[in-house]
Chain A
Amino acid sequence: MPTFTREEIEHLGDLARIALTDDEITRLQGELNVIAESIAKVQEVAGEDVPPTANPVPLEAYLRPDVAERPLTQEEALAAAPATESGMFVAPRILGEE
């Protein structure tokens, strides 16, 4: 049975790239422990002999003819961007200063 600690929730927030507030961490800790307890029972019936299902309607992979289509224009692709420059997306810097 998993028990979420405060540190674990903070770590999950980092992994998921969400800057959770202290209040949110406290609330999530309580809620996730209740939810986890109720869903852990799936392990009761998940025997080794049962194969997993990823897609409920399995389809064979297939090839289709390679037909050229007009993609979005550069203007369309950039239209909703928070920041652009010279036809490119502008991202904040990747590395910190230290």
Chain B
Amino acid sequence: MTQQTELVTLSAAQMAEAINAGEVSSRELVEAQLAAIDAAEPSIQAFLQVSRDQALQQADDFDARRQSGDVDGLPELAGVPIAVKDMIVTKGIATTAASKILEGWIPPYDATVVRKLKHAGMPILGKTNLDEFAQGSSTEHSAYQTTHNPWDTSRVPGGSGGGSASAVAAFEAPLALGTDTGGSIRQPGALTGTVGVKPTYGGVSRFGAIAMASSLDQIGPVSRTVLDAALLHEVIGGYDERDSTSIPKPLGKLADAAREGQRQDLHGMRVGLVKEIGGEGFQPGVEARFREAVSALEAMGAEVVEVSCPHFSYSLGAYYIIMPSEVSSNLARYDGMRYGLRVMPPEGKAQTAANMMAATREQGFGDEVKRRIILGTYALSAGYYDAWYGSAQKVRTLIIRDFAQAFEQVDVLVSPTSPSTAFKFGEKMDDPLTMYLNDVATIPANLAGVPAMSIPAGLSDDGLPVGFQFFAPQMKDEVMYKPAAALEAALLEQQHGPIWQSMNTPWLDGLNK
């Protein structure tokens, strides 16, 4: 058997190739990942739950199926293990959304994406940490634990999907699923040097994704390479009759686009720099790597022009009205009646249903969730609805128009993913507004429903990863995979290897001993 350290540092596509060549079994891959998880978790804490027995069983089932030659219709990634953000329900595996209000809840059904992973023979390693109900940009708002950035364990991995991003960056899993409402896949991708994709709204079923802000939420891939993200996107994407916002059309050829991009020829592609994302508030090291990456796109033949999206400066404001409004509505279901936490009112208070709900929600929700529910309750209340929610919905139209005009001039738009590299624990916890600014570059894509992805663009002067973001038009996700894979390949040559070569991974030294 191949050394476990070598196995876990393979890309998902390489793992799939090794399975197909008969060099490794799914069980061996799962065992290697479980060993990496055991070694890494004391310092990383990316997982809320490791589903060891189920993962091994799923691997054995796949290996038996492969042995018998019954592999028709299985995708390329069949047999490759994956981690799942704990915002996505898994039948028989506790799902908490990192909230005390759902502590110990075992869902009676699978999300559509989880069902697809199971059909694909992809073993599920466990559930990853997040900010409570995916609300935050550092994963510090988890009610259970703090996830550490493998590049520097005194720093946050970003959020809300810090667990998925750290698990993939630290080689605990080759792939993970995330959810992205305002940047929760892409910003952690940027901060951990991994790839994160938010598909077109409606491109991946949300059935079984715990609802945060339903008009913005989207499930998407987390990986270490662009091709791996494309392959996973093809596994989870496509129409689902259980989600009324699911697009009834087939996906584009995403992996083909990524493979074409690897040839590093971008002649005929028009790339737009979004004038309004950057400058004030963006670290010089982030902007420097961004400019170098743009030069690399030009060197491969892309035509680069500056494009103006004048209403993007209003997107953060619109987002912090629409998102909390939908949060206040969606999280009304946690009422202590049918599942989750129930706390009866203190003695002396009437023991009524209403008081039970208030006591349950007071104890079960954390600070950030309460903040957003209260703000959203306000924005939707009589007398304020038009001025707040109505205005924000109009801004949404203006942002969609900005994208439409931009995409008349160019094929893809680009920007830095996050204004800064990974920050220290506690640095932004006392100042919600500063925390919210982390998502200033990622939010426009959610408001407009367009696909966007972050890929690593090298290290800043502080030695931490920088993210480079691509946006494509709605339902044209394949259009961004080509330049993303091209840039990844060009940077790989420039830097003589993947970004993670510069990362210290003491936890991997312990494998095979």
Interface set of A (CB-CB < 8 Å, partner B): 2, 4, 8-9, 12-21, 24, 28, 31-32, 34-36, 38-47, 50-57, 59, 62, 64, 72, 76-77, 79-83, 89, 91-97
Residues of A within 8 A of B378 (CB): 2, 4, 8, 12, 32
Residues of A within 8 A of B341 (CB): 82
The answer to whether residues A53 and B397 also contact, given A17-B361, A24-B370 and a CB cut-off of 8 A, is yes
Instruction: Please provide the 5 A-B residue pairs with the shortest distance between their CB atoms, ordered closest to farther.
Output: A56-B449, A52-B393, A82-B342, A46-B391, A80-B339
Q: Secondary structure of the A side of the interface?
A: loop
Partner of B356 from the list A31, A32, A45, A92 (CB cut-off 8 Å) is A92
Q: Report the interface size class on chain B.
A: 35 or more
- A32 and B370 CA atoms in complex are apart in Å by 11
B314 within 8 A of partner (CB)? yes
Q: Secondary structure of the B side of the interface?
A: helix
B374 and A91 contacting across the interface, CB-CB below 8 Å: no
- A80 and B333 CA atoms in complex are apart in Å by 14
Chain B positions 378-411 with a Cβ under 8 Å from a chain A Cβ: 378, 381, 384, 387-388, 390-398, 400
Chain A minimum-CB-distance residue to B354: A17
Which one of A39, A52, A81 has the greatest number of beta carbons of chain B within 10 Å?
A39
Interface set of B (CB-CB < 8 Å, partner A): 105-106, 108-109, 200-202, 215, 241, 244-245, 247-248, 311, 314, 316-318, 320-321, 328, 332, 335-342, 344-345, 350-359, 361-362, 365, 367, 370-371, 373-375, 377-378, 381, 384, 387-388, 390-398, 400, 432-433, 436, 447-450, 474-475
How many A-B contacts are there with CB distance less than 8 Å?
185
B374 and A12 contacting across the interface, CB-CB below 8 Å: yes
Closest chain-A Cβ to B374's Cβ sits at a distance in Å of: 5
Closest chain-B Cβ to A61's Cβ sits at a distance in Å of: 8
B201 and A57 contacting across the interface, CB-CB below 8 Å: yes
Which one of A46, A59, A79 has the greatest number of beta carbons of chain B within 10 Å?
A46
The answer to whether residues A80 and B338 also contact, given A19-B362, A50-B398 and a CB cut-off of 8 A, is yes
A42 and B248 contacting across the interface, CB-CB below 8 Å: no
Partner of A77 from the list B108, B311, B359, B396 (CB cut-off 8 Å) is B108
Chain A minimum-CB-distance residue to B216: A56
Which one of B105, B361, B395 has the greatest number of beta carbons of chain A within 10 Å?
B395
Residues of A within 8 A of B109 (CB): 72
A18 and B362 contacting across the interface, CB-CB below 8 Å: yes
